[in-house]
Amino acid sequence: MAAYVVNEIWVTDPELFKAYVVQVPATLPVFSGRYMVRSGHTETIEGEPPGRIVILEFPDAESAIAWRDSPAYQVILPIRDASSRSRVYVVDGYMPVRDDRP
């Protein structure tokens, strides 16, 4: 089942953050990851407005976590951490509700 990495990002150093942004795409293909959302316009409907939103799709949660733990991503993660603050989640994709579930 597909899994999604959802990242809310509040950029604190835009120039440094650019160095992170340009390096992430090269880390995705080996894990079959791809961008679904990449900092498009957001309109807050309820609650506090988010920072930038990035959603990556992977074939499964294991691939998403393997990408996050990969040496290629770990090299650039300190750049993100130094230039922003984030909340990051791995979320399983859509699961149809079965009739026998409460």
- Architecture in CATH of 3-42+52-92: 2-Layer Sandwich (3.30)
The end-to-end CA distance of the chain, in Å, is 22
Coil, strand or helix: which one is 102?
coil
pTM recorded for the entire structure: 0.87
pLDDT for 22-42, tens place per residue? 999 999 999 999 999 998 788
Measured distance CA(2)–CA(95) in Å, rounded: 10
Identify which of 67, 70, 94 has the alpha carbon closest to the alpha carbon of residue 54: 67
pLDDT for 3-15, tens place per residue? 999 999 999 999 9
Measured distance CA(102)–CA(94) in Å, rounded: 17
